[in-house]
Amino acid sequence: MDGGGVDGYGMKMVRNRKVVLRRYVTAGYPTVDDMEVVSSTVMPRVPLGTMAPAVMVKNIYLSCDPWMRGRMTKHDDATAEIAEDFVLGEAMVNFGVSKVVDSTHPVFAAGDLVWGLCGWEEYSLITQPETLHKINHPDLPLSYYTGVLGVTGLTAYAAFFEVGKPKKGETVFVSAASGAVGQIVGQLAKIAGCYVVGSAGSDEKVTLLKTKFGFHDAFNYKKEGNDLTGALRRCFPDGIDIYFDNVGGATLDAALVNMRRGGRVVVCGMISQYNLQEPEGVHNVIQILSKTIRVEGFAVFNHFGLYPMFEDEMARYLKEGKVTVLQDVVKGIEKASEALIGMFSGRNVGKLLVAVADE
């Protein structure tokens, strides 16, 4: 099967490069050496004899997301985690946009454009095709389905509306606001009639928030010394109704102090904590009691039922120009690990993805 160029059915084998995890990351930032690109070949069809319906896809765009960090560490109690640890030596897994090249599943046919979970590789055999979604708005950029029209957008939408439960006129603070989820949350908050302020880690990102994404205000948290509490008090003299947390740690602590009574903290990410050996403590949890705050963790996997409604609503916002998107597209699967690592130190601006094939 491996070395030959043609299989027994006359079909040509193709090259299939994969990004695999070489070793589990114990603490701190992952490095490029933790991953490697390995090359093999694959027959681009569902293997004969595959019992359950399956789909072979050629991957076009791979999404880079902060939550991949958790899967790069070995967990003793994997059941406690949202997603399983990556398997060493196998392609890492995340969401992507792909074209179906072969299918034994009645819903999908060769040529269909889909998005869903796939390997960090050029071709993926999808053995659970029910996790794939057909792309219903091909008039919008295909890459959007790794982001604003995919899990990133659904995350922003479901977390903000279902957990945050915004009311018109409320105040919203978004951390890592220029990030993939943050930039969408800010724009949804404006659509919902809220006052929205974002934080980010560079002046360039702050400018983007105030111009491209229309945040009412924004600040560079690295310029506030250790007084994030003061920065938030300046931005929200009457307090915060919803804190959309993408970072955790000191920012969460400062937000708690500035929450209004009955406020909601949507815990969507804690990127400041993912690479620490010991987590920072959060000291102002008593505010949860004194202001009857609700702090709620969000996992998009509980909200996929919303996707069809979300896809149509978000596609409309995009077409109407109410939501705009900034992508950071890296070309070539050989650049994928470097891109992922850059994301953890905030190097990218906007939604990070890797283009691994032409559309």
The residues of the shown chain that bind its own copies, judged by CB under 8 A, are 70, 80-82, 248, 252, 261, 267-270, 273, 278-299, 302
Task: Identify which of residues 185 and 295 has a Cβ nearer to its own copies in the complex.
Answer: 295
CB of 275 vs its own copies, minimal distance in Å: 12
CB of 288 vs its own copies, minimal distance in Å: 4
Task: Identify which of residues 34 and 296 has a Cβ nearer to its own copies in the complex.
Answer: 296
CB of 263 vs its own copies, minimal distance in Å: 10
Give the contacts of 273 (CB within 8 A, at least 6 positions apart).
248, 249, 279, 280
Q: Is 185 helix (H, G, I), strand (E, B) or coil?
A: helix
Give the contacts of 286 (CB within 8 A, at least 6 positions apart).
none
Report how far apart, in Å, the C-alpha atoms of 141 and of each of 97, 148, 182, 255 are. Answer: 11, 10, 20, 36
String of DSSP letters for 114-162? EEEEEESBSEEEES-GGG-EE-S-TTS-GGGGGTTTSHHHHHHHHIIII
CB of 298 vs its own copies, minimal distance in Å: 6
CB of 285 vs its own copies, minimal distance in Å: 5
CB of 252 vs its own copies, minimal distance in Å: 7
Task: Identify which of residues 31 and 302 has a Cβ nearer to its own copies in the complex.
Answer: 302
Task: Identify which of residues 143 and 258 has a Cβ nearer to its own copies in the complex.
Answer: 258
Task: Identify which of residues 115 and 173 has a Cβ nearer to its own copies in the complex.
Answer: 173
Give the contacts of 37 (CB within 8 A, at least 6 positions apart).
17, 18, 19, 20, 333, 334, 336, 337
Query: For residues 201 and 341, what is the distance between their CA atoms, to the nearest angstrom?
Result: 16
Q: Which helix (H) or strand (E) holds 358?
A: none
Task: Identify which of residues 148 and 268 has a Cβ nearer to its own copies in the complex.
Answer: 268
Query: For residues 310 and 330, what is the distance between their CA atoms, to the nearest angstrom?
Result: 27
Task: Identify which of residues 299 and 329 has a Cβ nearer to its own copies in the complex.
Answer: 299
CB of 203 vs its own copies, minimal distance in Å: 29
Type of residue found at 356: V
Report how far apart, in Å, the C-alpha atoms of 194 and of each of 13, 14, 202, 206 are. Answer: 54, 51, 24, 19
The interaxial angle of helices 151-158 and 307-320, nearest 10 deg, is: 100
